[in-house]
Structure 1
Amino acid sequence: MTMRTDHSVGRLPSPQQSETDLNLDIWPKALSPLRHNPETEARIEEILLRMTPAQKIGQILQADIASITPEEVRAHHIGSVLNGGNSSPDGKMRASPSEWLALADAFWEASMHTDGPQIPIMWGTDAVHGHNNLAGATIFPHNINLGATRDADLVERIGSATAMEVRVTGMDWTFAPTLAVTRDDRWGRSYESYSECPNLVAELGAAMVRGLQGGANTSEFLNADHVIATAKHFIGDGGTQDGKDQGETIATEEELRDVHAAGYYTAIREGILSIMASFSSWKGQKMHGHEEFLTRLLKEHWGFDGLVVGDWNGHGQIPGTSTTNCPDALNAGLDMYMASDSWKGLHASLLQQLQKGVVNEDRLDDAVRRVLRLKFRARLFNQPKPSERKHAGDYALIGCQKHRALAAEAARKSAVLLKNAESTLPLSPGQNILVAGKAADDLSMLCGGWTLSWQGEGIRKSDYPQAETLLQGIKRLAEAYGGNVEYAPDGAYRESPDVAIYVFGEKPYAEFRGDLTTLDFKPGDRTDLQTIQKLKQSGIPVITVFLSGRPLWINPELNSSDAFIAAFLPGSQSGAIADLIFQDSNASHDFDFTAKLPFSWPEHADQYLLNHGDADYLPLFPYGFGLSLGDTCTLGRLHENSLATEPDHGTIFDHGAPQGSWQIVLTDSAGQSHWKGRSIASPAAELHIHPADLGQQENAIRACWNCTNTATLAFLHSPIDMSREANADFYLKVVLANAPNLISTTQMSVITHSGKVRIGNLLDMHRQEETELTLTVTIPLKKFGVAGADLTTLKGIELCNSEGGQIVVSYIGISTL
């Protein structure tokens, strides 16, 4: 049953029956092979008796390295740190391995030189496809690729290699594997899922746990070659409504048991030591505060005695709480808050709530025991500082040849051949070969999100000097066998080629930034298709390689290609895919396509919920489909009737990024700057914008003006006819807490084809909602017309602040929030 903390009186209410109660009789057991060590348990109790309440609370907090110093770790007895997707030593995204290791030493030294018991700190990192936050590391293909391999042994070896590279920089803990079972491919985290098939997720997830941690109850378990693994995100994150990240999971209890829990049974049986709570909710209750799942199912029914850790400030999404005031999560069963930048305020509030009885003292002690037990099992109490441990500082292991060969093997084994008309493949490498498409030589697109940064954009070749792009792999083979390669990203070749290889796909993204409203690839932008068609019409055989984090509707591209390869996100050794495309009679060995689709491929752009075993299962390519070079499979001409449209053009800005074809442009006295993510300034530095956290990581932007009359922040689009939606409302949500006196000085204008129309300042405009934190400006769209704006050619919304200052913008849209 669900227990809701009553903040006003500092006690727990009487138990009540809830619609979110679970029927545990229908859930099987998932017993861990790990057992308590009596000597360890006695040491845990001895340490617990010596700890003050403040020290206990410190142990259950995890802070981001960008928001805490070693001295603060010492003062507050913090139990763990992490590096978020965009956090690095001194803010240097390309920090060297030695800088990472030095910071690990600094945090460890702080934890071991403090008043009270000396409890070593743990460092967690999102090593989800290799040690991916580290420049120069081996970047393995994402989980969707590993699902296509069907190779548990390969996955286990990748886990072992990842653990080794993580150990080099002194870290102990990775937030992997993701055990989500994706049901709606519009979900922005689909590529973090092994498959839509629960059994495959369970098999490969267990293999990754073995690789990362070592075999349970063996001498390898969490020895110096391995790291703590984390099964995430518990539970149901792959089944959210409309594929919206962090949303409401649409599933019956039986579906949660049979589909979404599949990977957790096997992970627990492999001895997983950490499980991360999901951002998602079930029947309206957030998992971070869901006692039924975190305590009754996971800990009591399944007997899980490891650590339940939160996700990035996920506790603050529980209704009635905030990131710095949330006893609910602890009382529900969370053992460690991922209080990335909220740790200090949360420490103070939890201590106060413990004194008032709002926090259950026994529950706090249980959480601390679990933290200490994990540290003992990970052998941290017996280890010297990170730089003196085995493998630490052995920088030759980072991106080493052995690991690169493993990544190349995974890239080859995960590329799915969907079409091979007239046996176009394999090609002879001794031809004149045209390679086209920016993605062929773009590591960001080849590796995807969670690579060097959270969203994975802006990677340079120098960041991963041992990498081989697909273009480089093609050149390697052509040079070896007398061929010639011309690279023309736009397809405009100088000499007529014998064959063309076109590489295209999705730009990198992570989490909610990748959520889609349709499965149509790039609706409204057919540049790639036009290039492929032009090559085909010139009589050139076209082999197309498609990079994506999920299956997408690409019927026109399939029709225009002689051969089509779904490569997904193959990683830093993507050049190995060239080994599949080319064969030569003089080669010492040839490779063949062996990969099978881990997700069903849609025939229509609106086939969002398309999963093997569904009653109405009509995919273009079914789950498990994949050709080999010897297969004869004729793919007829496909329909090209996309049912998708530009994502409801009323969504202008959301989740920290412009939506669809909207763009952000900063203008000042010196010109314009176009925002492409991360922090940016206008040309004369009169306006700066930075990513901002608002309930989720970087789901808003902070606009900071200097004292100027010229700097503007504009959200722009090609002209849209909004006249038919004149009865709709315009919404703009800003954060009051960060701009208490600036709303009245921030002006908004509407930009149309005929010019700019000033609407007024934000404070004076009609307000739909005002809370302690946010102000939602709501304006009937027809008022834009009354003010003189031509709704038939709406081009953008502009903000300016003549007096200087800052506001945080979290949402801009039309019609609905």
Structure 2
Amino acid sequence: MLNFTRNINNGGDAISHKVIPFKFAPLSASLLIGLGLLGCQPSTPSKNQQQIDLAQTVAEQKELVPESTSTGVKADINVWPQQQAAIAVDPILEQKIAEILAQMTLEQKVAQMIQPEIRDITVEDMRQYGFGSYLNGGGAYPNNDKHATPADWINLAEAMYQASVDDSLDGSRIPTMWGTDAVHGHNNVIGATLFPHNIGLGAANNPKLIEQIAAITAKEVMVTGIDWVFAPTVAVVRDDRWGRTYEGYSEDPRIVRDYAFAIVEGLQGAVDGEFLSDQHVLSTVKHFLGDGGTEKGIDQGDNLASEQDLYAIHAQGYVGGLNAGAQSVMASFNSWHGDKIHGNKYLLTDVLKGRFAFDGFVVGDWNGHGQVAGCSNESCPQAANAGLDIFMVPTAAWKPLYENTIAQVKSGEISQARIDDAVSRILRVKLRAGLFEKPSPAKRALSGKTELIGQASHREVAKQAVRESLVLLKNNQALLPLSPKMNVLVAGDAADNIGKQSGGWTITWQGTDNQNSDFPGASSIYQGIASAVDQAGGQVQLSVNGQFDANNKPDVAIVVFGEEPYAEGNGDIDNLEYQRGDKRDLALLKSLQAQGIKVVSVFISGRPMWVNPEMNASDAFVAAWLPGSEGQGVAEVLFTDAQGQVQHDFVGKLSFSWPSTPQQSAVNVNDEDYQPLLPYGFGLKYGDKSTLANDLSEDNFAEQTEIEDLALFERAVKSPWNMYIATVALDNNGLPQIKDRQTLASSMAENSALHIRTIDKVVQEDARQVTFKGEQMGLVGLNSNFPRDFRAYQDNSVLSVQIQVQDKLEQPLMIGMVCEGACLGQFDISEQVNAKVNTWQTIQIPLSCFAKQGFDFAKVIVPFYIATQANTTVSFSDVVITNVSASDNSQVIDCK
């Protein structure tokens, strides 16, 4: 049974609550999926600078054109300078496109626009449908094997290619393309060279190095038979709470512009050189447009920038990338003033294909078309009409999408001309890439040359990138560089952890569940330090918790610590305080200093963070970002050689401003009121005086921070949440399992346990009425694609819901929340609602009560659910996280 418990009434409206967990532990994978816990990126001038320097500084740009917005407000196309295409029109190539197009059926054309994922199609599906492309998402591998060999990757590429050119079923011989997320090297493949993530490369401020990194990445990708990479990310991040901050090179659009040009040239080859030769792959500039500027840094959220800022800040990566000849652009998940980009014709067609003269193709992001108003993953004519050329459609949704798109063309909902334009763009890129003439993947020039995967020369470039990305923030009494002849203690849980130093998008999507053994040929930061010290005759000891032999006290401690790996969505936080509420790394630093040991902190992170206490407890402090597979590069900067000579000085400079408070998440160079702790461009070199105070304020302003109400459901479900219904059943072991989970897409829905519909409480459709049938447990909840950080609310806020029950309950009515990692908190409110049957009342549950049940507010995946097996009708509205005290019509759960 689910083992609900009853409340114990102590009189009045305050209710004491005895808790026995809602036996959801251990949670099975199917239950986690049901609750939403599991899921299914000033510089030196670059080459041809005069060609791409269309943008002036942000300050200059703001004076050129008045602000304008999008939806409901007239847009100003003149904000967008008319560019020239990087590649001149080739009449011969265009004639080939027309000839191929004329021979294609509608079904063949639509198949070119469908991009499924390798976990959801077979080689026979490719033979039957002839998809124009396919992909592997993060954490997807041939044969579902994380340790798939390069030969396994090649075999799949060859099989898919041969099926695509087999015309026996679909009548088409157009070769397919394989796309992959190679965002810091060929990061899905075991043994590949992993470079620092983009935030570190931005600190290096070396476009030539970026071009070299991209060229190496292209080679390692081509070894596995893949044609196309989804890189570079050219987001200009405005709020560092965003979980993809590390995929941005800089908060300065000029660096992003120059880097975009460099990396596209490195991946594809120069337009006037070896463009798309057998040494290069197709690149994708992403995500168009404004992904780095969403409100509060919420992934897939809403960008409210003016149109002028959208160009001057957020579009500069496309100015650079498209002028280098990028052949694909990925549409973004985010909205601009409420319009999802996947369905925004003005930006995708009028701006990108018109003013930017882009003649390649626009590919969607992971079912991003399904987020467009009126769309689903299975049907979205709006996205095709807006200018999306390829639907990225993982999961089984690809088949109904294919069928529905064909039907929509036949009905005239999508014009034949739009389909022909999309397919012409796809064919243009394939012809430019030589896919019709190149050998099959297994027979290409670099295919199977496995010695290139993680080759020593590639790792040397990666080490250079590590060295140049490090930023020295503090160096009291010139502690650094260190002599390798010292007695060195290496501590911290990131010291000997290659997965942690590499971050997200590393073998797995989120970069989690990796061991050092998953990185053959790589070096952890500790291994690099040990090598340097051992060779010079010093002593080195590794102790994650900082313990050491009292008879062998170290001269210095290098503590390597920082953020756990994360990727999109999972990395979103609500302020920048490091280890808020759990200062275990600070305790380690303080314990070492208290023993009279000099401390060098090496901080691993995907963004600048508020680490004032940790800085105060450090004699030297290095921002190492996410250095990738070559941790040895860190030691090459921290230590002199055996003769005491500096091997490599610090050259990295902050490409993101460093915050002065946990709340200062949106501090960017050129802001009117610019007061960071450390400014954009800061970075010490050896010999520079350390300027950072040793008594930085450690006030995190938690008490003074005004916490706004967080509406989850008010009249409608609030972004980024979705409402779903489900049933709960027991499996053969007696454990509850979520069944028949449905995300709501209409005003009413039903399953075997309940029926839900919209009703009018105060205004039209501002509440939901749930009729529970009483035959099995039913559940209504809110969930997000990714966990959200609610720690700011947990001490002084309540989960508040307005609720009404039609009849007196004889069984529990549970309200709960679910957090990532198989944890939940929940309460039976039947006694409260029974006191006022058929009356609207407000139930408030202090979040501190959930905390007492062990709830983790750092990773909230379901902020509200209601569940019962009673035969009753329950209506609810206004689900809010608030610190407003209860009203006369409220009942507050007392869990003391």
Decide: shared fold, TM above 0.5. yes
Cα displacement (A) at 1:632: 1.2
Cα deviation, residue 748, structure 1: 4.0
Map 1:281-296 to 2 at 5 A: 281-296=335-350
Measure, in 1, the Cα distance between the counterparts of 2:416 and 2:643: 72
- Maintained 8 Å contact 2:71/2:339: no
Alignment match, 2:204: 149
Matching residue of 1:619: 676
C-alpha contact 2:166 2:172 (8 A) present in aligned 1: no
Task: Return the match for 1:337 from 391, 416, 421.
Answer: 391
Q: Is the contact between residue 751 and residue 757 of structure 1 (CA under 8 Å) also seen in structure 2? A: no
Mapping for residues 518-597 of structure 1, pairs under 5 Å: 518-586=575-643, 590-597=647-654
The aligned residue for residue 599 of structure 1 is 656
Residue 567 of structure 1: SS of its match in structure 2? strand
Counterpart Cα distance in 1 of 2:429 and 2:399: 23
| Farther off after superposition, 228-237 or 636-645 | 636-645
Q: 1:474 to 1:23 in 2, by over 3 A?
A: same
Shift of residue 36 of structure 1?
A: 2.5
Q: Is 2:633 the partner of 1:633?
A: no
User: 8 Å contact 2:798–2:882 — kept in the other structure?
Assistant: no
Deviates further, 295-304 or 446-455: 295-304
Deviation at 1:689, TM superposition (A): 9.0
- State which of 145, 157, 170 in structure 2 corresponds to 1:92: 145
Q: Given the superposition, is the C-alpha separation of residues 294 and 745 from structure 1 closer, same or farther in structure 2, using an over 3 Å criterion?
A: farther
1:725 and 1:781 in contact (8 A); partners too: no
Secondary structure of the structure 1 residue equivalent to 2:490:
strand
Post-superposition shift, 1:511? 0.8
**Contact 1:544–1:563 (Cα < 8 Å) also in 2:** yes
Deviation of 1:757 after TM superposition, in Å, equals: 5.3
* Match for residue 502 of structure 1 among 559, 564, 568: 559
Q: Per-residue deviation at 1:756?
A: 8.2
Q: Which amino acid in the other structure matches residue 529 of structure 1?
A: L
State the distance in 1 between where 2:790 and 2:339 align: 40
Find the aligned partners of 1:450 and 1:558 in 2 and give their Cα distance.
28
- Tell whether 2:283 aligns with 1:237: no
User: For 1:781, which of 829, 843, 866 is the aligned residue?
Assistant: 843
Note closer, same or farther for the CA distance 1:420–1:689 as it changes in structure 2 (3 Å cut): farther
1:122-175 CA distance string (max 9 Å, x none): 000000000001111111000001100110110000000000000000000001
| Residue 584 of structure 1: how far off its partner (Å) | 3.1
Q: Spell out, residue by residue over 1:322-374, the C-alpha distance to the aligned partner (whole angstroms, 9 max, x if none).
A: 01110001101111111122211100111111111001110110000000111
CA contact (8 A) 1:720 1:793 kept: no
Q: Which AA in structure 1 matches 2:321?
A: A
Corresponding letter in the other structure for 2:459? R
1:513 alignment partner, SS class: coil
Displacement of 1:93 in angstroms is: 1.8
Q: In structure 1, what residue type is equivalent to 2:332? A: S
Q: Number of paired residues?
A: 723
2:449 matched residue in structure 1:
394
Which amino acid in the other structure matches residue 545 of structure 1?
Answer: V
- State the Cα distance separating 1:813 from its structure 2 match: 8.0
Partner of 2:277: 223
Q: Which residue of 2 aligns with 1:163?
A: 218
- How far is the alpha carbon of 1:257 from its aligned partner? 1.2
SS of 2:495's equivalent?
A: helix
- Whole-Å separation in 1 of the counterparts to 2:415 and 2:262: 37
Cα distance in 1, alignment partners of residues 524 and 738 from structure 2: 33
> In structure 1, what residue type is equivalent to 2:639?
F
Deviations 1:435-473 (A, max 9, x none): 110101112210000000110012112211100010000
Name the CA shift for 1:167/1:262 in 2 (closer, same or farther; >3 Å).
same
The answer as to whether partners of 1:600 and 1:619 remain within 8 angstroms in 2 is yes
Structure 2 residue aligned with 1:728: 800
CA separation of 1:693 and 1:216: change in aligned 2, threshold 3 A: farther
Which residue is equivalent to 2:431? 376
1:310 corresponds to 2:382: no
How many Å separate the matches in 2 of 1:520 and 1:55?
53
Greater RCO between the two (CA within 8 Å, min separation 6)?
Answer: 2
The separation in 2 between residues aligned to 1:746 and 1:237, in whole angstroms, is: 43
Q: How far did residue 685 of structure 1 move?
A: 9.9
CA distance in 2, matches of 1:583, 1:520: 33
Matches of 2:841 and 2:491, distance apart in 1: 47
- Give the Cα separation in 2 of the matches to 1:539 and 1:149: 34
Letter of the 1:75 partner, please give it: Q
1:34 aligns with 2:87: yes
For 1:359, the equivalent position in structure 2 comes to: 414
Gaps of 5+ in 1: 1-16, 660-667, 670-680, 696-707, 732-743, 767-777, 804-811
Q: CA deviation at 1:486?
A: 1.0
1:211-230, Cα deviation, whole Å (9 max, x unpaired): 00000132x11111100000
Aligned amino acid, residue 98 of structure 1: A
Cα distance change of structure 1 residues 347 and 757 upon mapping to structure 2, 3 Å threshold: closer
Any idea what SS the aligned residue of 2:237 has?
coil
The change in CA–CA distance for 1:169 and 1:758 in structure 2 (over 3 A counts) is same
Q: Residue in 2 aligned with 1:255?
A: 309
**For the residues of structure 1 that align with 2:793 and 2:97, how far apart are their CA atoms?**
67
> Amino acid of the residue matched to residue 239 of structure 2?
D
| Counterpart-to-counterpart distance in 2, 1:201 and 1:478 | 38
Deviates more, 1:564-573 or 1:581-590: 581-590
Q: Which moved more, 1:562-571 or 1:69-78?
A: 69-78
Query: Which has the greater radius of gyration?
Result: 2
Distance, in Å, in 2 between the alignment partners of 1:453 and 1:408 is 22
SS at match of 1:90: helix
State the partner residue of 2:570. Answer: 513
Q: For the residues of structure 2 that align with 1:148 and 1:241, how far apart are their CA atoms? A: 25
Q: Which amino acid aligns with 1:729?
A: V
Bigger Cα displacement from structure 2, 489-498 vs 140-149: 489-498
Q: How far is the alpha carbon of 1:586 from its aligned partner?
A: 2.4
Matched, 1:51 2:108: no
TM-score, normalising length: structure 1: 0.82
1:67 is the counterpart of 2:139? no
Q: Could you tell me which residue of structure 1 aligns to residue 526 of structure 2? A: 471
CA distance in 1, matches of 2:210, 2:712: 38
Query: In structure 2, how many angstroms separate the alpha carbons of the residues matched to 1:122 and 1:319?
Result: 30
Contact 1:50–1:116, Cα closer than 8 Å, also in 2: no
Counterpart residue type for residue 386 of structure 1: P
Cα distance change of structure 1 residues 718 and 309 upon mapping to structure 2, 3 Å threshold: closer
Distance 2:701 2:442 in 1: 56
The corresponding residue for 2:184 is 129
Q: Do residues 643 (structure 1) and 715 (structure 2) align? A: no
Residue 581 of structure 1 aligns with an amino acid whose one-letter code is L
Question: 2:375 is matched with which residue?
Answer: 321
- Confirm or deny: 8 A CA contact 2:800 2:880 kept in the other structure: no
User: For 2:130 and 2:652, how far apart are their aligned partners in 1?
Assistant: 48
Shift of 1:19: 2.9
With over 3 angstroms needed to count, the CA separation of the structure-2 counterparts of 1:288 and 1:721, relative to structure 1, is: closer
The structure 2 residue matched to 1:208, chosen from 246, 263, 274, is 263
Read off the aligned partner of 2:311 and give its amino acid letter: R
C-alpha change, 1:339 and 1:544, in structure 2 (3 Å) is same
CA contact (8 A) 2:504 2:565 kept: yes
Question: Aligned-pair RMSD on alpha carbons?
Answer: 3.8
Instruction: Give yes or no for contact 1:307–1:374 (8 Å, CA) kept in 2.
Output: yes
The within-5 A match list for 1:190-201 is 190-201=245-256
